[in-house]
């Protein structure tokens, strides 16, 4: 029997579905960060110390440990009295994701206004649950740059130029008094909750004048044309109370699992109590909050939109002695490589710490990094690649049994004088397609501490990449204190090496 008619019908359906559009005119009401929050618990807690600080400084507290960073988010949600504004690239339906959402829902139950803004790239199948949250009087959910096809995302292929531009920002702001930004999304692997995988990452907690600036950034995204209410895609539940009760039961079960684990300690974390009782825990410094305009996801407006790369360049100025970069993905253009060569020609020391092929969670991203190694090494750039398995401090993660470690922190220090922490990767997606957020902190103390902390663990945690006398790539590591030299990508099998090298030739570098 001829199948041509069926094929034609299927093709027609695919094209019709691919032409589906998003109603960016869907009605929504603008809202903005609450400003009358000085009388909240968090507002009063830091008021005396803030009164003695210059307006152009803020207090910063870095958070490299996974468990403490989750505990801090949950405790901040518990302390919230007026508002929570949360903005994330992804929130998974796993242990950490459920605990996080439960903390937000409990805050809403106490009368706290909760605004949750999530990028749509990994929300397939989540519409019903998010609609239940949105049915709460104090809880509003918006989806950033949504897909038109809610079930089969691939059917949005005809909107490729826009759907491949995503909101990668991560921010969590409570009562417009304290904010947390950095590299972590909301999922088990970012907070040490998985035994088979851990992402090493970095957040920074901040108080002071930076907080209302983060809130203004959030408002810009929240009210942007590409941020739509979840009700634009999912019907509100017929019985909101029942839907919320059912959702709360599910979230409570997840919380019980956490309370039976080492995360019970995180819920009683001393971090928040420590910084609230002693504001000297914060390092005070001048700063610049840097972020892309949400217009970056609109192809026709992207080229003219405010760019984080321009802001970072202006904030940092000329590098004089040292550039120390930590990035999960390192994909450069010819112009980027030339910029590094210019630094080296001026005698600037350049160190880059990134993922190895074995530790990288995206082999395709590694394919974009492969071609840059030889030219960078030839000019004297120092390259270190994270081992797939490292021994993290016991208080920073759950026990990872033979699991993979992936570098996910996005930070760099300049001249041990300025420090960037945020969501920006050194790749083409962050530079040209995704929106990003971060802060440049003018603090020799924090910048030096970061460089010294990472430098101290490089021999145990990484392989140093170098060129031998014949100009071939080699990897230097230490096992039991003895130096080993490897000729192939460490800790990776033939098929993974073959796949990464083959993907080098795909015309996708701009997407990496």
- State the catalytic residues: 168, 170, 175, 408, 410, 415
Q: Which residues make beta-bridge pairs with 422?
A: 438
| CA separation for the pair 414, 420 (Å, rounded) | 9
Q: Which residue has the tokens 């993660």?
A: 397
Residue 126 near residue 93, CB atoms below 8 Å: yes
Burial category of 445 from C-beta neighbours within 10 Å (exposed 0-12, middle 13-18, buried 19 and up): middle
First to last CA, the chain: 44
- Residue 359 has a CB neighbour count (10 Å cut-off) of 27
| CA separation for the pair 207, 180 (Å, rounded) | 9
Residues 6+ apart with CB under 8 A from 180: 63, 72, 73, 76, 171, 172, 173, 203, 204, 205, 206
- Residue 349 has a CB neighbour count (10 Å cut-off) of 15
| CA separation for the pair 261, 96 (Å, rounded) | 12
Pick from 334, 336, 314, 335: which is nearest to 325 by CA? 336
Pick from 364, 361, 308, 368: which is nearest to 334 by CA? 368
Q: Which residue has the tokens 């083409």?
A: 428
| CA separation for the pair 4, 17 (Å, rounded) | 20
Pick from 102, 108, 92, 84: which is nearest to 222 by CA? 84
Question: Tokens representing 394?
Answer: 């016991």
For residue 145, the number of C-alpha atoms closer than 13 Å in the C-beta half-sphere is 28
Residue 87 near residue 221, CB atoms below 8 Å: yes
| DSSP state string for 257-268 | HHHTSTHHHHHT
Residue 409 near residue 328, CB atoms below 8 Å: yes
Check residue 330 and report its DSSP letter.
Answer: B
- Residue 385 has a CB neighbour count (10 Å cut-off) of 29
Instruction: Provide the strand spans (E) within 72-112.
Output: 83-88
- Alpha-helix residue ranges (DSSP H) falling in 355-493: 363-369, 373-378, 428-432, 444-461
Question: Tokens representing 292?
Answer: 């892309």
| CA separation for the pair 5, 265 (Å, rounded) | 62
Q: Which residues make beta-bridge pairs with 420?
A: 412, 440
Residue 355 φ/ψ, nearest 5 degrees:
-80, 145
């Amino acid at each position: 029997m001829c199948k041509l008619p069926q094929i034609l019908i299927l093709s027609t359906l695919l094209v019709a579905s691919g032409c589906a559009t998003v109603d960016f005119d869907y009605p929504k009401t603008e809202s903005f960060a609450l400003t009358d929050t000085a009388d909240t618990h968090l507002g009063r807690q830091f008021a005396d110390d803030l009164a003695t600080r210059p307006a152009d400084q803020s207090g910063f507290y870095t958070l490299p440990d996974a468990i403490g960073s989750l505990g801090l988010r949950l405790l901040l949600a518990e302390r919230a009295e007026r508002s929570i504004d949360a903005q994330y690239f992804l929130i998974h339906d796993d242990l950490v994701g459920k605990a996080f959402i439960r903390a937000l829902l409990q805050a809403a139950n106490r009368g706290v206004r909760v605004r949750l803004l999530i990028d749509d790239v990994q929300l397939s199948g989540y519409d019903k649950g998010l609609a239940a949250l949105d049915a709460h009087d104090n809880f509003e959910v918006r989806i950033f740059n949504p897909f038109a096809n809610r079930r089969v995302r691939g059917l949005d292929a005809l909107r490729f130029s826009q759907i491949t531009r995503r909101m990668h920002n991560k921010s969590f702001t409570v009562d417009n008094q304290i904010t947390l930004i950095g590299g972590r999304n909301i999922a088990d692997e970012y907070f040490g909750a998985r035994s088979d995988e851990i992402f090493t990452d970095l957040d920074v907690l901040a108080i002071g004048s930076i907080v209302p600036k983060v809130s203004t950034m959030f408002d810009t995204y929240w009210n942007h044309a590409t941020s739509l209410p979840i009700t634009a895609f999912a019907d509100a539940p017929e019985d909101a109370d029942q839907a919320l009760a059912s959702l709360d039961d599910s979230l409570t079960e997840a919380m019980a699992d956490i309370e039976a684990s080492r995360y019970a300690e995180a819920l009683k974390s001393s971090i928040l109590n420590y910084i609230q009782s002693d504001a000297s825990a914060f390092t005070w410094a001048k700063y610049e909050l840097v972020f892309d305009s949400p217009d970056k996801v609109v192809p026709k407006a992207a080229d003219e939109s405010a760019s984080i790369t321009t802001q970072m360049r202006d904030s940092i100025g000329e590098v004089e002695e040292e550039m120390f970069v930590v990035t999960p993905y390192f994909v450069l253009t010819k112009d980027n490589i030339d910029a590094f060569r210019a630094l080296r020609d001026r005698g600037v020391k350049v160190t880059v710490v990134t993922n190895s092929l074995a530790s990288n969670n995206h082999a395709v991203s590694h394919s974009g990094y492969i071609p840059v190694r030889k030219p960078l090494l030839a000019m004297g750039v120092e390259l270190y690649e994270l081992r797939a398995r490292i021994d993290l401090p016991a208080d920073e993660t759950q026990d990872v049994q033979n699991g993979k470690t992936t570098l996910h922190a996005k930070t760099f220090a300049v001249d041990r004088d300025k420090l960037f922490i945020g969501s920006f990767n050194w790749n083409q997606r962050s530079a040209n397609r995704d929106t990003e957020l971060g802060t440049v902190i003018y603090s020799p103390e924090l910048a030096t501490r970061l460089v010294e902390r990472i430098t101290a663990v490089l021999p145990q945690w990484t392989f140093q990449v170098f060129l031998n006398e014949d100009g071939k790539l080699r990897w230097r590591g230490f096992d039991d204190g003895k130096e080993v030299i490897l000729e192939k990508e460490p800790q990776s099998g033939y098929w993974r090496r073959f796949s990464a090298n083959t993907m080098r030739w795909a015309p996708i570098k701009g997407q990496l």
